[in-house]
């Protein structure tokens, strides 16, 4: 198996395992939590279509979980003026403490991930990631 794919799968499995207790305490499925965190962390995205396209979550799963988040009071829907087919998803006040706990969990996860790296390795890692992001942007620009 490709080392990069194996690493991505292991990171995803570890993150899911770390999130599980919080999701259980909130009585939220992992997908609903992920949607709420995506919207809370990325205010430039605000529609179900954004979640489907950017997070690559199947549309039916997004629909079911958004309905639940709206019903439970974590999200509200707002029609977009001039486009009757587009609905904006807004995090409510009830969502704020959940997002704050989720962000703390995400920061702790990121800190733990690099905790055993020395400063030179961290620096090289972040420089490498920045360069790969630039390269990915160029590839995406070429193919679109």
Phi, psi of 109 (to 5 degrees): -60, -45
pLDDT tens digits for range 115-144: 999 999 999 999 999 999 999 999 999 998
Q: What is the rounded distance in angstroms from the CA atom of residue 35 to the CA atom of residue 48?
A: 9
Q: Is 27 helix (H, G, I), strand (E, B) or coil?
A: coil
Q: Give pLDDT, residue 89.
A: 96
Average pLDDT over residues 53-63: 95
Q: What's the whole-model pTM score?
A: 0.86
Q: Is the pLDDT confidence value at 1 over 60?
A: no
Phi, psi of 88 (to 5 degrees): -85, 140
Q: What is the rounded distance in angstroms from the CA atom of residue 106 to the CA atom of residue 93?
A: 20
pLDDT tens digits for range 59-110: 999 999 999 999 999 999 998 787 777 899 999 999 999 999 999 999 999 9
Q: From residue 16, give the alpha-carbon distance in Å to each of 19, 44, 81, 107.
A: 5, 24, 37, 14
Burial of residue 25 (CB within 10 Å: 0-12, 13-18, 19+) is exposed
Q: Which of 4, 7, 33 is nearest to 19 (CA)?
A: 33
Q: Give pLDDT, residue 3.
A: 82
Domains of the chain: 3-117 (1.10.10.10)
Output b/e per residue, 63-87; b: 16+ Cβ within 10 A. Answer: eebbebbeebebbeeeeeeeeeeeb
Q: Give pLDDT, residue 85.
A: 76
Pick the more confident residue, 79 or 16.
16
Q: Is the pLDDT confidence value at 9 over 90?
A: yes
């Amino acid at each position: 198996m490709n080392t990069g794919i194996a690493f991505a799968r292991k990171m995803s499995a570890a993150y899911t395992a770390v999130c599980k207790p919080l999701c259980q305490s909130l009585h939220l499925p992992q997908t609903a939590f992920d949607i709420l965190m995506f919207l809370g962390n990325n205010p430039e995205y605000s529609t179900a279509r954004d979640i489907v396209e950017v997070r690559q979550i199947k549309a039916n799963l997004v629909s079911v979980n958004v309905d639940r988040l709206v019903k439970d009071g974590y999200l509200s829907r707002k029609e977009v003026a001039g486009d009757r087919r587009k609905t904006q998803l807004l995090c409510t006040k009830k969502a704020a403490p959940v997002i704050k706990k989720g962000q703390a969990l995400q920061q702790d996860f990121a800190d733990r991930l690099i905790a055993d790296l020395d400063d030179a390795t961290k620096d090289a890692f972040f420089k490498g990631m920045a360069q790969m992001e630039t390269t990915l942007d160029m590839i995406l620009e070429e193919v679109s």
